[in-house]
């Protein structure tokens, strides 16, 4: 495994994929020593002053470096004497003692870095790595151009902002330049202002081998300007740069190019070479672009290729069988493309090094299901929308799987017994939703293991599980305590909600809606609400009262209990759920008043208490909820005057079916009984609205922007390769989670479940 001590630049110079990018010592050659001589005293003083200009803050490096790969290097400087050549991150020339290298990547530094910094009192620097710190939006000083001997410069993921200074072009010896934003999702506040600036910036960098500008705004740059880049270039990374126009095909023919990453430039057009393509590419990524045309058979000639991502682009046509020649491939990502034809899965059999494979959309994948096909290194497999009719048998030997997505296929019948016998000790994400699977999961597990009683799903590391949109029946399966996201909606599960589910104290989203579950909501759900953000139990046959399971100050954003047979009062403690954005208790048998505490839910965006037996007056504080965009109190027994507010005046039919309510917007004025009460909501209308879920915003999901499966999968790969386990555990499951719950209300899905329509927004 690679460690954070491996240089980004060394990795790239050794022609490994740009995905292996880490932020550590970029240059320090064996020709230099840091032990034998005291350094120039003035430079040591400058280093101390530089260090003292920042505060040490752990979270300054968290988003880029994780928890295990960062520490405050400068904290030990004063303790290690006055010889700065012995200080952590400092390298000196063996003969002259001058400081020639400074690696303070992931060092928890926070503060401004301006042109007055004593950093610029180190004129002999040849390598500088400040990646993974927080410089609070400082502009990159033009004085960086004064380091005339600089060969390696990394300022990535350090919150610099403003225009990239053209003075960097003065660094004529520069081999590697990394000004990228964060590793994922490549956010940066840096810009390159125009074509002229870009040409000035790169024209003098004739020795440049590595250029990484991920996230830098290049929207004003014509892609044709890229043809001015040095022919010595080995790695070019321009992810999420907002490039627009036609990408010059000449770049693919640069003689030394090994790594090319153009993903997430949503308006960048281009084609892949169809002739004379014999380069030595190791990594090619054009996902989430407007690259189009056919996938060339010539890709099979790039036998050094180990990373290929074309997903969510506009390629059409068949997948060329020549891809089976790429026996070094570890990552093959062809998802979200409008493929055509049938793919014989045997074409991938020679790819024994595959760690990730994603195919989807309009494909018919032909499985031979022979016992001799295996992928021993496979960690991520996504065969989504591939018209599969059975489980791939090669999974029985893919024991290293971390992610398995088989949703939106045509797999019928029971889950095979062999599936549960595989020792998937590392599997964290499993999605079998939107198939035609049936039978009892519980009995399937028991038969494969000869167990009896309530048995946990035998996947000990599982954090994401979706069984939604199938025909499963019988008892609700119990996930392991490690589960964070659990979806079983739109099946025929029956019986009580198992109390063993309460052992999953890290649950964030649980959706058991549209089944035939009976009994009451377990009181032990109080164990879940500390971490829970979404609770969806709608459209079952649950009875009893809503239990006191909600803990004040928790993270609940969505509670959906509609279309059950719940009775009793609405708990007063609901008003303490300050993060709540959506609440739906409609179509139950709830009685008594609407708690006045609901009026304190200042983040509430939608509230549906319709079709119950609620009485009393509408709490006046409800009218002051400025964020409320949907309200339905219809078909209850509410009385009195409707509170007036600009917000309430927009809810035309929210109060229908309450004969004893009066005031705007109802035609019945308060103080008179002579006017006709408004008609009840037409039969079935409330049911229709509840089923449509059109007012339900699933923005409770912990990421507020959309993301494609390819992006998430690529991010998983990056994090794995750079040893950032904090992200690895939960990032890939968010592929599916974000795809299904990102953006606005799911109007198109009448079942109110996760939206999976084959399109993803980035």
Q: What is the CATH number of the domain that holds 551?
A: 3.80.10.10
Last residue of a domain, which of 632, 662, 692? 692
**In which domain, by residue range, is 750 found?**
705-762
Structure tokens at 715: 């991010």
Q: Is residue 108 part of a domain?
A: no
Return d(Cα 558, Cα 607) in angstroms, integer. 10
Return d(Cα 474, Cα 166) in angstroms, integer. 67
Q: CB 149: neighbour CB atoms within 10 A?
A: 14
Q: Are residues 600 and 678 in the same domain?
A: yes
Q: What is the pLDDT of residue 646?
A: 80
Does the predicted model carry a pTM greater than 0.75? yes
Give 632's strand partners.
608
Q: Are residues 586 and 613 in the same domain?
A: yes
Last residue of a domain, which of 692, 718, 750? 692
Q: Are residues 725 and 631 in the same domain?
A: no
Q: Is residue 658 part of a domain?
A: yes
Residues of the chain with pLDDT under 70: 1-39, 67, 80, 183-184, 362, 368-372, 444, 446-454, 672-762
Give 245's strand partners.
268
Q: Is residue 377 part of a domain?
A: no
Identify whether the C-beta of residue 247 lies closer than 8 Å to the C-beta of residue 272. no
Return d(Cα 285, Cα 718) in angstroms, integer. 13
Q: Is residue 386 part of a domain?
A: no
Q: Are residues 608 and 755 in the same domain?
A: no
Q: Are residues 529 and 633 in the same domain?
A: yes
Which residue from 633, 705, 721 is spatially nearest to 185, judged by alpha carbons?
705
297 backbone φψ class: left, alpha, beta (φ>0; ψ -120 to 50):
alpha
Q: Is residue 615 part of a domain?
A: yes
Contacts of 442 (CB under 8 A, 6+ apart): 454, 455, 474, 475, 477
Q: Are residues 710 and 582 in the same domain?
A: no
Q: In angstroms, how far is CA 86 from the centroid of its own chain?
A: 41
Last residue of a domain, which of 692, 715, 737? 692
Identify whether the C-beta of residue 750 lies closer than 8 Å to the C-beta of residue 692. yes
Identify whether the C-beta of residue 529 lies closer than 8 Å to the C-beta of residue 556. yes
Return d(Cα 34, Cα 56) in angstroms, integer. 25
Q: Are residues 713 and 650 in the same domain?
A: no
Give 475's strand partners.
494
Length of the chain equals 762
Identify whether the C-beta of residue 258 lies closer than 8 Å to the C-beta of residue 232. no
Q: Are residues 657 and 719 in the same domain?
A: no
* Domains of the chain: total: 2
Would the CA dihedral through 32, 34, 40, 42 be positive or negative? Answer: positive
Q: Are residues 652 and 745 in the same domain?
A: no
Structure tokens at 711: 């992006």
Which residue from 158, 160, 110 is spatially nearest to 137, judged by alpha carbons?
160
What 8-state DSSP symbol labels residue 139? Answer: B
Q: Is residue 717 part of a domain?
A: yes
Q: Are residues 631 and 722 in the same domain?
A: no
Identify whether the C-beta of residue 24 lies closer than 8 Å to the C-beta of residue 4. yes
Q: Are residues 679 and 571 in the same domain?
A: yes
Q: Is residue 617 part of a domain?
A: yes
Q: Is residue 27 part of a domain?
A: no
Q: Are residues 518 and 566 in the same domain?
A: yes
Q: What is the CA radius of gyration of the chain?
A: 30
């Amino acid at each position: 495994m690679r460690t954070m001590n491996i240089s980004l630049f060394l990795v790239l110079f050794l022609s490994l994929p740009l995905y292996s990018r880490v932020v550590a010592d970029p240059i320090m050659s064996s020709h230099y020593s840091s032990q034998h001589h005291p350094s120039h005293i003035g430079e040591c003083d400058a280093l101390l002053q530089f260090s003292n200009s920042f505060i040490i803050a752990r979270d300054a490096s968290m988003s880029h470096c994780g928890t295990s790969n960062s520490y405050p290097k400068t904290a030990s400087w004063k303790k290690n004497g006055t010889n700065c050549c012995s200080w952590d991150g400092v390298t000196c020339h063996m003969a002259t003692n001058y400081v020639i290298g400074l690696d303070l990547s992931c060092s928890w530094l926070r503060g401004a870095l301006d042109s007055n910094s004593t950093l610029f009192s180190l004129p002999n620097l040849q390598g500088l790595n400040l990646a993974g710190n927080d410089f609070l939006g400082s502009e990159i000083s033009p004085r960086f151009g004064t380091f005339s001997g600089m060969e390696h410069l990394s300022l990535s993921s350090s919150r610099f902002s403003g225009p990239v200074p053209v003075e960097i072009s003065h660094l004529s010896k520069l081999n590697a330049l990394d000004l990228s934003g964060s590793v994922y999702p490549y956010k940066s506040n840096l810009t390159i202002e125009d074509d002229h600036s870009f040409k000035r910036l790169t024209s003098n960098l004739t020795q440049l081998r590595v250029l990484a500008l991920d996230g830098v705004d290049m929207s004003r740059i014509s892609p044709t300007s890229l043809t001015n880049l040095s022919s010595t270039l080995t790695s070019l990374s321009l992810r999420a740069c907002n490039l627009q126009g036609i990408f010059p095909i000449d770049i693919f023919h640069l003689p030394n190019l090994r790594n090319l990453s153009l993903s997430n430039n949503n308006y960048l057009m281009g084609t892949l070479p169809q002739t004379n393509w014999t380069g030595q590419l190791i990594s090619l990524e054009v996902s989430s672009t407007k690259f189009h045309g056919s996938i060339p058979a010539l890709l099979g000639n790039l036998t050094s290729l180990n990373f290929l991502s074309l997903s969510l682009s506009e390629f059409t046509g068949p997948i060329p069988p020549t891809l089976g020649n790429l026996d070094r491939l570890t990552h093959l990502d062809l998802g979200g493309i409008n493929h055509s034809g049938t793919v014989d899965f045997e074409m991938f059999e020679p790819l024994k090094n595959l760690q990730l494979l994603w195919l989807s959309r309009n494909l018919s994948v032909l499985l031979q299901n022979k016992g001799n096909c295996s992928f021993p290194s496979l960690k991520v497999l996504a065969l989504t929308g591939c018209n599969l009719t059975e489980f791939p048998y090669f999974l029985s030997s893919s024991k290293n799987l971390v992610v398995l997505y088989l949703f939106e296929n045509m797999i019928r019948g029971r889950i095979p017994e062999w599936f549960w016998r595989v020792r998937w000790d590392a599997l964290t994400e499993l999605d079998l939703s939107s198939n035609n699977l049936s039978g009892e999961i519980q009995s399937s597990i028991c038969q494969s293991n000869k167990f009896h009683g309530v048995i946990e799903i035998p996947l000990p590391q599982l954090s994401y599980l979706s069984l939604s949109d199938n025909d499963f029946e019988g008892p609700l399966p119990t996930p392991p305590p490690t589960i964070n996201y659990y979806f079983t909606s739109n099946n025929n599960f029956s019986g009580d909600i198992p109390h063993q589910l309460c052992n999953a104290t890290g649950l964030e989203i649980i959706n058991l809606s549209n089944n035939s579950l009976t009994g009451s909501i377990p009181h032990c759900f109080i164990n879940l609400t500390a971490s829970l953000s979404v609770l969806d139990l709608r459209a079952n046959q649950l009875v009893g009262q809503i239990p006191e399971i909600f803990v004040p100050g928790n993270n609940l954003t969505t509670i959906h209990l509609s279309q059950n047979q719940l009775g009793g009062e609405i708990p007063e403690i609901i008003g303490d759920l300050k993060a709540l954005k959506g609440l739906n208790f409609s179509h139950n048998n709830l009685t008594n008043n609407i708690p006045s505490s609901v009026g304190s839910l200042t983040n509430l965006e939608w509230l549906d208490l319709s079709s119950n037996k609620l009485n009393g007056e509408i709490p006046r504080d409800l009218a002051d909820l400025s964020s409320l965009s949907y309200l339905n109190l219809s078909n209850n027994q509410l009385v009195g005057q409707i509170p007036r507010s600009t917000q309430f005046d927009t809810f035309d039919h929210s109060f229908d079916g309450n004969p004893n309510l009066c005031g705007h917007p109802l035609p019945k004025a308060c103080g008179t009984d002579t006017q006709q009460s408004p008609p009840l909501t037409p039969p079935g209308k409330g049911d229709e609205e509840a089923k449509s879920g059109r007012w339900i915003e699933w923005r409770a999901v912990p990421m507020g922007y959309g993301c494609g499966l390819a992006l998430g999968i690529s991010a998983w790969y990056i994090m794995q390769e750079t040893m950032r386990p904090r992200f690895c555990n939960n990032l890939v499951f968010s592929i599916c989670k974000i795809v299904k719950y990102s953006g606005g209300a799911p109007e198109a899905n009448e079942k109110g479940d996760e939206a999976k329509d084959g399109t993803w927004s980035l």
